[in-house]
Structure 1
Amino acid sequence: MKAMKDNAAPREVHGNTFDEVIDQARRRLLQGAGGAAFLGFFASPAALARSLDEPVAASSSLLAAFPRSIPTHSDDRVTVMDGYVVRAILPWGDPLIDFSAYWRPDASSSAEEQARQIGDNHDGMHFFPFGPNGFEQGLLALNHEYTNYEYLFGKEYTEPWTREKAMKAINAHGVSIVHLQRDARSLWRPVIPSRYNRRITGDTPIELTGPVAGHALLRTSADPSGTRVRGTLNNCANGFTPWGTYLTCEENFHNYFGGGSSDPLHQRYGIGKDGGYRWFEVIERFDLRREPNEPNRFGWVVEIDPFDPQSTPKKRTALGRFKHENAAVTLAPDGRVVVYMGDDERFEYLYRFVSHGRYDPANPAANRDLLDAGDLYVARFTADPAADGTRLRGQWILLDKARNPLLAADARLPTQADVLIHARLAGDIVGATRMDRPEWVAIHPVSGEVYVTLTNNDKRKPGEVDAANPRAENRWGQILRWQEAGGDPSADEFAWDLFVLAGNPLAYPKGDPRAGSAAITPENMFNSPDGLGFDAAGRLWILTDGNYSNTGAYQGMGNNQMLVADPNVGLIRRFLVGPSGCEITGLTWSNDGRTMFVNVQHPGEAEGHPRAPRIPPGQDLATFLAAHPTVFSEWPHSQFHELGGGRPRAATLVIEHANGEPVFAAR
């Protein structure tokens, strides 16, 4: 539901946030490299010039196993680089707990059955092996972000609208914990039944922990304690901890509430308009008129123990409330836990959490609540050159009511708990840098350098550009990277630059920022980088969720894709192209590096695709697809016939080298 994904919200703009940045950018405009083309794209000239003009190596030892980019296409199939094989497993609706809740091609499964099946629209995930030498089996923790009603409900679609339908949608959200094992042919398959298999849905009991737990704004009539919430929703990307737990991140939670709200603090998150899911019409807790605090119980990072199916998931409120994309975890030299997080909406912020406690590898039980106490920061990127002249500077601004004078003086956030509940407003007040949709964050396994995808922002105007977000009407996105001072992720200052600006060199001439930076060529061009991950060798994997119209600014780009990059030399190659209407997302590896798992989300979203069906006058596309669910796509069944069809289904790809070599360097 891309229309829901970019819901712009009212915001406060700090008066001095960009003035200095823009002034410096104007004074240091690029010379040459397109001249007039840059007049509408005030940026950090140093960073942008390097990105556009730096030479890119022609070869890379890191990419020796990935010799050349594959072509784009707009077909309804997955293609991968020569020498690799791909399968699909775990499609939406397949049985998970037992075989009684089987896939029904006509989408007639009940809400209760959906709660025992694989959820819909797979997103972030992580593979947890059974021990360091667990090469043959493990647990896959798998997010389910949202669902497409035109495929979820079948021909009857949404009318009449009932509580049963709403509950089916709720149970299609959340997380699946799946026990995977290699079979006699060395193929990964789910183990059913297994004591480990588990669905955590939009209705599962979850504990609220940390400094916000019990706050008045989290109390409802069903939970007067403000410590117990039902469900986790819009589970986008993920993280994992050194102590073996899974982090699932709640993103666009505003979509699920309706009934109206004039509260400006709700509106700052896009809450107030009737949510497109219509749950509020039949379930009281999603009706803002009856339960105005229920939205405050969503927008958190949730910690799950995948190996204990009886454990209660915990929403860790110390990490702040916003539209979380993922949670990238690392350790400071002194053992404190550091978590980097992006808020996926146009003009939103990058955050960092630093725990008060220290990780103790010798005492796993002592680590379980490390995410309940710590400091939350928000990023400011400036155009000041770094000391070595090659990078720019930035700083982390503490979001603490007692220790930040700007927050201390603002009566709208009376306590630290209010700061965490309304982290966006806190970022406004302290003057954080408004980013082009910060999504996944990934940490280099050797250098500790941190990368973030800034997916796109076509609403940014020429007067709003800044060093980190250098293009107006940014339709293609960029990847930014930084290194903390002294290599310490808990340091308050960092140096940064732009790793790559995505763009279209077929549509725009070289030197025009819309063509992308020097690393972008017709052979590897892409738009809207979203998912991001490093393997243990230090290769950067880039997954896209962008425009697949294949026309205009996006001509030649085809369906969404996955690329692999060598961050040392800037070389990028296209490794995979997905089926029609999908997003490529989620990334993890088996413990031996033989297998890469990648998700295909929402195959069959036809709007804007060059192969979209023509619909009769007076019908909308969703209603037409509900009545004709295979007219546009029947992936994965159309490509992998052993998987049931009847309509498009999200699924997990299993990718391996054709000769079985461990080439992916597992983390």
Structure 2
Amino acid sequence: MPDSAPRRTLPLIGQAGGGRSRATCRLRCGDACFHEAPNKSANPYFGDIFSGMVSRRNALRAGAVGAGAAAGFAALGGLAAPASAKPGRGDPRLTFKGLKSTPGTRPDAVEVPWGYRHRVVISWGDPVLPDAPEFDFDGQTPEAQAKQFGYNCDYVGFVPLDRGHGHGKGKGKGHGNGKGYGHRPRRGLLWVNHEYTNENLMFREFSNDTATEEQMRIAMAAHGGSVVEIVRMGAGGAWKVAKGRRRFNRRITAETPFEVTGPAAGSELLRTEADPSGTEVLGMLNNCSGGTTPWGTFLTCEENFHQYFVNADGAPEEAREKLARYGMTGGESGRRWNRVDERFDLSKHPNEANRFGWVVEVDPTDPSAKPRKRTMLGRFKHEGANPRITEDGRVAVYLGDDERFDYIYKFVSAKRFKKGSARHNATLLDTGTLYAARLTGNSPAEEIDGSGELPSDGAFDGVGEWIALCSDSESYVEGMSVAEVLVYTRIAADKAGATKMDRPEDFEPNPVTGKVYCALTNNSAREPGQADEPNPRGPNKHGHILEITEAGDDAGATEFTWDVPIVCGDPDDPSTYFAGFDKSKVARISSPDNLTFDDKGNLWISTDGQKKLEINDALHAVPMRGKYKGELKTFATVPVGAECCGPLITEDQKTAFIAPQHPGEDGTAEEPQSTWPNGDVPRPSVVAIWHGWGKDIGS
């Protein structure tokens, strides 16, 4: 494949919802933003403020400073950050020349800074399994697609198969899986989520009304995920798909058997006519972001699963309210897969929906193992799941529910992580405690008016607590069993009084400081009077970043402090904020979605909705400490109509992977609005970016 794609500038097209294209809203989340938010709870937007909590906030901040180094693991380049991580020295600064995006000009290409190169690694339809045929747009079959790279690609994970030969810096620092920083692997396994499909771009003259059974089964095979072995090209940061045996390569689809584990497994809420045991599910749906565990497995997260089900209004009356809390109302609409598989018809199989919306664990080194839906991590519209290790060696996983006015969560395992013990670590996510977050601001309510203006203390900040919803053996929510808390986690968090947030998406721990960051994408439905300090704008068109500091820097703590270091948008907009940095020197950013970190603790943010700013979606980077904190730059932009997914920086800091998905989303196969990456039909792909002189990413 060529190192770069042809550049083509296309006219702007209509936007909808949170700034995505109209087609993206319909196909990805079932037009969620065009419907009333499903959270009807009376949970307040402003937390009660009283002197005890303010005093506790000051104590927590002092404790966090005194604790010094952060303990824990963070997903970084497919590996876990060292438990002995210490704050880096000096003032980290991103020295690449940031891209400048001119509003109204939207190139149909991936663009990278001066000195960098990029290459498509794999695209929709490329062979994954050894006997897969080459891609043939007009000759697609379900059997072929089940062996080829699936459609839209969101989360990208990576684990090395070797450790290289001393090309990296340093001696390593004891990662949770026994690997050290400073090594340069030459072979590895790439995991990619296939979130959803756009049949208007996959087939000629497509219509939902006339879709054939074969087209629907091709789409079902194009969902799920792929494990692909890749190899480094030379000594730099370029990668390509490995040839030959490829014994680890795997395709997971909407019809792959999955094992259900944890306390809700076998519950009557998960039993169906086809699976009376309630322990085996076919497929995973709408998997968005994810995470990598310290023991080398991938966590992949089911998000907008609600849109695949029809006829909620025909479900039993006692089920309708719960279905509605998860966005399932009305009759037959959307993809209508019930025409080829009736399990998607809620009037016949109301429990089938309960079998989706989970975090799934996949072992990339065992293609024969069933993926596992981990019920202990709760059921909602999961965006990501990223772990840290607690002070006493347990695993904490941070989770966001990507819905307007929904919640952020944390799971803490009952057992301790054991380095090198795959059998033991495979049980860690089935026992423990699931929490939801309550955040309280420390400023007077009248100072938070929805405008985004900073309060008199100069910061959006406050305290928070993790409210226990249940353990694996006991429910802490009155009137709900453990299984009910896990299957109807949103309802449990409603009752517990969790704080309504602005579409919490990806969570990432910083490997240098131990602070945890959440991308809050946007919420145009938030009225000015509904603004609160952790969600300080109403409406919130462009989103913001939340920073959490656990008490004592311990991921197992039940109290934390928080602040909002970045309020996104056009820097010329007075409602924006970039950690106090000079806004004349920062880039535009809207709708932060997925996050990652480099080894200096710089935050990398990919976006989904910059059309509101009349620019393409992008990968941005920003220091999170030192005198350059808040100096946000644009590192890469993606083709017209595409969302920038991934991102991932390899542990040797030589490659950044991004996954531009749904290029030209509003077009059709007959009239494409993008021809990226090959100049013909648009094909979602994974892209590797590296510096031409071998420098670290960000240099």
Q: What secondary structure is seen at the aligned counterpart in 2 of 1:255?
A: helix
CA distance in 2 between counterparts of 1:392 and 1:515 reads 17
Q: What is the 5 A alignment of 1:305-316?
A: 305-316=363-374
Contact kept? 2:137, 2:202, Cα under 8 Å: no
Between 1:533-542 and 1:346-355, the stretch displaced more is 533-542
Instruction: Kindly state the Cα deviation for residue 86 of structure 1 after the two structures are TM-superposed.
Output: 1.0
Instruction: Kindly state the Cα deviation for residue 96 of structure 1 after the two structures are TM-superposed.
Output: 1.1
The change in CA–CA distance for 1:293 and 1:304 in structure 2 (over 3 A counts) is same
Instruction: Kindly state the Cα deviation for residue 347 of structure 1 after the two structures are TM-superposed.
Output: 0.5
Q: Which of 380, 400, 418 in structure 2 is aligned with 1:360?
A: 418
Q: Which of 214, 218, 230 in structure 2 is aligned with 1:164?
A: 214
Q: Which of 408, 417, 434 in structure 2 is aligned with 1:350?
A: 408
Instruction: Kindly state the Cα deviation for residue 125 of structure 1 after the two structures are TM-superposed.
Output: 1.3
Aligned amino acid, residue 496 of structure 1: W
Aligned amino acid, residue 126 of structure 1: G
Q: Deviation per CA, 1:44-68, whole angstroms, max 9, x where unpaired?
A: xxxxxxxxxxxxxxxx953343244
CA distance in 1 between counterparts of 2:654 and 2:47 reads 50
CA distance in 1 between counterparts of 2:475 and 2:45 reads 16
1:627 maps onto 2:670 in alignment: yes
CA distance in 2 between counterparts of 1:404 and 1:292 reads 24
Aligned amino acid, residue 575 of structure 1: F
Contact kept? 2:45, 2:530, Cα under 8 Å: no
The change in CA–CA distance for 1:522 and 1:64 in structure 2 (over 3 A counts) is closer
CA distance in 2 between counterparts of 1:23 and 1:470 reads 21
The residue aligned with 1:472 is: 538
The residue aligned with 1:111 is: 142
CA distance in 1 between counterparts of 2:689 and 2:380 reads 33
Aligned amino acid, residue 110 of structure 2: V
The residue aligned with 2:161 is: 130
Q: Which of 35, 42, 53 in structure 2 is aligned with 1:14?
A: 42
Q: Deviation per CA, 1:523-572, whole angstroms, max 9, x where unpaired?
A: 501110111111222111011001415xxxx2xx5111111110012211
1:209 maps onto 2:261 in alignment: yes
The residue aligned with 1:143 is: 193
Contact kept? 2:396, 2:413, Cα under 8 Å: yes
Contact kept? 1:150, 1:157, Cα under 8 Å: yes
Q: What is the 5 A alignment of 1:193-208?
A: 193-208=245-260
Q: Deviation per CA, 1:165-196, whole angstroms, max 9, x where unpaired?
A: 22111111111000001246964211244111
1:174 maps onto 2:215 in alignment: no
The change in CA–CA distance for 1:515 and 1:184 in structure 2 (over 3 A counts) is closer
Q: What is the 5 A alignment of 1:450-599?
A: 450-506=516-572, 508=573, 512-513=574-575, 518-519=580-581, 520-521=583-584, 523-548=586-611, 554=613, 557-568=614-625, 569-599=629-659
Instruction: Kindly state the Cα deviation for residue 104 of structure 1 after the two structures are TM-superposed.
Output: 1.5
Contact kept? 1:180, 1:190, Cα under 8 Å: yes
Contact kept? 1:504, 1:516, Cα under 8 Å: no
The change in CA–CA distance for 1:121 and 1:218 in structure 2 (over 3 A counts) is same
The residue aligned with 2:665 is: 605
CA distance in 1 between counterparts of 2:206 and 2:563 reads 51
Instruction: Kindly state the Cα deviation for residue 505 of structure 1 after the two structures are TM-superposed.
Output: 3.6
The residue aligned with 1:424 is: 490
The residue aligned with 2:328 is: 271
CA distance in 2 between counterparts of 1:64 and 1:16 reads 40
The residue aligned with 1:648 is: 682
Contact kept? 1:174, 1:202, Cα under 8 Å: yes
Between 1:513-522 and 1:308-317, the stretch displaced more is 513-522
Aligned residues: CA RMSD: 2.5
What percent of counterpart residues are identical?
Answer: 42
Q: What is the 5 A alignment of 1:22-171?
A: 61-72=91-102, 73-98=105-130, 100-106=132-138, 108-133=139-164, 135-158=185-208, 160-171=210-221
Q: What secondary structure is seen at the aligned counterpart in 2 of 1:20?
A: coil
Q: What is the 5 A alignment of 1:241-280?
A: 241-261=293-313, 263-273=320-330, 274-280=332-338
Q: Deviation per CA, 1:572-624, whole angstroms, max 9, x where unpaired?
A: 11111111001001122334321111110100113xxxxxxxxxxxxxxx6xx
Contact kept? 2:401, 2:504, Cα under 8 Å: yes
Q: Which of 221, 239, 256 in structure 1 is aligned with 2:291?
A: 239
The residue aligned with 2:8 is: none
The change in CA–CA distance for 1:363 and 1:516 in structure 2 (over 3 A counts) is closer
The residue aligned with 2:427 is: 369
Aligned amino acid, residue 468 of structure 2: L
Contact kept? 1:12, 1:429, Cα under 8 Å: no
Contact kept? 2:271, 2:277, Cα under 8 Å: yes
The residue aligned with 2:171 is: none
Instruction: Kindly state the Cα deviation for residue 111 of structure 1 after the two structures are TM-superposed.
Output: 1.1
Instruction: Kindly state the Cα deviation for residue 22 of structure 1 after the two structures are TM-superposed.
Output: 12
Between 1:570-579 and 1:343-352, the stretch displaced more is 570-579
CA distance in 2 between counterparts of 1:307 and 1:491 reads 33
Q: What secondary structure is seen at the aligned counterpart in 1 of 2:486?
A: helix
Q: Which of 500, 521, 528 in structure 2 is aligned with 1:434?
A: 500
Aligned amino acid, residue 683 of structure 2: R
Q: Deviation per CA, 1:105-146, whole angstroms, max 9, x where unpaired?
A: 33x311111111101110001111013436211000111100
Aligned amino acid, residue 39 of structure 2: R
CA distance in 2 between counterparts of 1:15 and 1:183 reads 53
CA distance in 2 between counterparts of 1:66 and 1:136 reads 25
Q: What secondary structure is seen at the aligned counterpart in 1 of 2:429?
A: helix
Aligned amino acid, residue 511 of structure 2: P
Contact kept? 2:159, 2:188, Cα under 8 Å: yes
The change in CA–CA distance for 1:135 and 1:470 in structure 2 (over 3 A counts) is same
Instruction: Kindly state the Cα deviation for residue 100 of structure 1 after the two structures are TM-superposed.
Output: 4.3
Q: Deviation per CA, 1:388-446, whole angstroms, max 9, x where unpaired?
A: 997511110010288776x22x3xx3x11101100101111111110000001110102
Q: What secondary structure is seen at the aligned counterpart in 1 of 2:210?
A: coil
Instruction: Kindly state the Cα deviation for residue 10 of structure 1 after the two structures are TM-superposed.
Output: 2.9
Between 1:216-225 and 1:590-599, the stretch displaced more is 590-599
Q: Deviation per CA, 1:469-526, whole angstroms, max 9, x where unpaired?
A: 01111101000101000011111110110010012244x4xxx316877544475011
Contact kept? 2:608, 2:643, Cα under 8 Å: yes
Aligned amino acid, residue 290 of structure 2: N
Instruction: Kindly state the Cα deviation for residue 364 of structure 1 after the two structures are TM-superposed.
Output: 2.9
User: TM-score, structure 1 length as denominator?
Assistant: 0.84
Aligned amino acid, residue 566 of structure 1: P
Q: What secondary structure is seen at the aligned counterpart in 1 of 2:196?
A: coil
Q: What secondary structure is seen at the aligned counterpart in 2 of 1:400?
A: strand
Between 1:279-288 and 1:473-482, the stretch displaced more is 279-288
Instruction: Kindly state the Cα deviation for residue 20 of structure 1 after the two structures are TM-superposed.
Output: 2.6
Contact kept? 1:129, 1:590, Cα under 8 Å: no
Contact kept? 2:436, 2:467, Cα under 8 Å: yes
Contact kept? 1:453, 1:479, Cα under 8 Å: yes
The residue aligned with 1:48 is: none
Contact kept? 2:619, 2:634, Cα under 8 Å: yes
1:334 maps onto 2:368 in alignment: no
Q: What secondary structure is seen at the aligned counterpart in 2 of 1:480?
A: strand
Unaligned runs of 5+ in 1: 25-59, 607-621, 639-644
CA distance in 2 between counterparts of 1:141 and 1:515 reads 35
CA distance in 2 between counterparts of 1:419 and 1:337 reads 20
Aligned amino acid, residue 42 of structure 2: H
CA distance in 2 between counterparts of 1:517 and 1:335 reads 33
The change in CA–CA distance for 1:464 and 1:110 in structure 2 (over 3 A counts) is same
The change in CA–CA distance for 1:362 and 1:177 in structure 2 (over 3 A counts) is closer
1:188 maps onto 2:239 in alignment: yes
Contact kept? 1:135, 1:590, Cα under 8 Å: no
Contact kept? 2:589, 2:610, Cα under 8 Å: no
